[in-house]
Structure 1
Amino acid sequence: MKKIKLKLLPIVCVLAAFVITSCGKDDAISAVLPSVTVSATVDGEALASGEEVAVGSAVVLNISVSAPGGVNGLDVNGTSYSRADLGADSGDTSGSLALNITAPTVDQIGNTATFEIEAVDDLGQTSAVVTFTYDIIAAPSPDARPYTAVLLAAPQDDSGVKSSLTFFSTNTGDRYSMDQVNDTSDPLSADIDFGYFYGSGTGGTAATLSDPASYPFDYGQSAWGTRNSTTFRRTSLNAAAFNEVTTFADIDDVYEAAEAADTDPGIESGLVEGEVLAFATDASKSGGSKRGLILVNSIAAGDGPTGEISLEILVQEEITTTN
């Protein structure tokens, strides 16, 4: 009997070793929990957790799952995503999801968006919760559109020809003569925001900007289908301060701080070189009222053919580029 026991002992040991090894392997699989990694983009640029996202921006969470026990699903803030949502089949050990997040809105400014992400595998095991956050801020103010070296001529009437470029439109950035406005079927008058003239003589107004509605003498604008009203304000800015203004918000700040319009807000006289006016265009214009600033660069005094004013104009019109 002793010999039989001795012969069986190696077999039992081998079987025991097999059982121990097999159980150890299963334990090893079940002990490896699924894991989650998250990266993100905002408007196509990399976004790290804890950074800022502006109102209206497009955020994408790129979530990757590793699950040796088999990918089963994903939970993001209580919303479940299936294995199929992760692009995985039964038994697959990895999957991913690109999650488009609803753009933040104005009423969310100052809030923190928080995403808690957890994966589960086919063994019912869950990953550690990964948290991704971003702070919601106001959208940056867009850059205003500059118009440089705008030369407006004193109005001229040469035997009925009114070709001096006296009027300006912030819509188009172009100068117009009275003949251009009146000799076309295109309703250009609806675009005109202000014009120039020089009041000479005793008690004259000197260098003056006026909207079409306030233009104090009939130069032909009585034939216009539309005569816009522009509101002017005088500011305390100089040329250096004008050059520091770049955005819509900057213009709003200057306009609000400027001297309130007087009883005739559509006309400003006695302009001098280096001063800055604030203005708001007619609210009835297409697109509504826009604000802007005007820097008086130089003045060639007089109401003759050499009379003119050189302006720098900044307006709440977004800058667009074309290829």
Structure 2
Amino acid sequence: MTATFSFLGSNEQNSNPNGWYWFSIGMFTSFFVEIPLIMYVYQRLRLVNFRLAKVSNGFWLTGVSSQFLIGVFRSSRDKVFGKIEFRKIHNIVAIICFLSLLVGAPCSAALVAYDKPKSCTNYGKKNLLNHRLTDICISLVMLSLFLVVLFCVLWQIVYPILYKQDPTIGSNWTAGMNTIWSFPLWENVCIITLYVYILWFPFMLPARTDGKRPKQRNSCSFSRVNYNGIELKTELSRMWFEILKEKIEFRSGADFLEHLADYDEVEGLLSEKGVSFIQSVGKLIIEGEKAENVKKMIKEFGKESNELWQWKRVMIKCAEKK
């Protein structure tokens, strides 16, 4: 293979002068087809891990949006304006697209791996994703991407050795043409793999979701509910959710601590310092401490520990209600 994927979008004589516009149409079409797919995937993966799903979704959206621009800026020497050629902008956009998708794929794969069956989910030993399809797809995609990177890196090691033996083999680019070291070959393998991944991934996910897992009390601390768009993962968070939703009132901080003690899942969930902090803040909120003081206390604790990144936001909202 001697031609890169971008050659299909070039109107130059040695590239694709008679059909380059089909490449642009394909890039435009893929953009409008893939955006709904990516958002569909995001709405389901966010149930596995909200933060990582947002990161993964950001990379996928960047990559797919770049595809649209690849269709706009074809790989040719025609001038866009001034001395700037189409191919220069095309190369920049193509690199952004490639890197974004290359990062987005492992991120979504990590979310799938994270959702392997666990006894502590609300689904018991079941899970959110269809792992029969998942395991096959993820394995193939990661293997393909690994081979692409491996051969590109190895070629940088092999080429200097070959060139030293025979300087007539040509440049780094030409010497690899029509061999297993050909960059166009592995670029096309990578692109095809990513497209298959994007189209296959939705089939791994549940057909519908109401935005949260079923509420079910058990002895596990892995439950998930949402409060004002904030994902609450721990049993402690669920307790706060119940207090806010049901507007449970306490006569004193002591009553609050007694309620907190009913949750035996607290032990081992956070450090001793973290539990003590939660109790202190809860007492202040229940007793009507000013929101500004509670916020300050939470932020100061946040500088020392990152275990309460979910809690900090919920507590601040609690304090503001006072």
TM-score between both structures, scaled by the size of structure 1: 0.23
- From the two aligned structures, give the one with the greater helix fraction: 2
TM-score between both structures, scaled by the size of structure 2: 0.23
Higher-Rg structure is 1
- From the two aligned structures, give the one with the greater strand fraction: 1
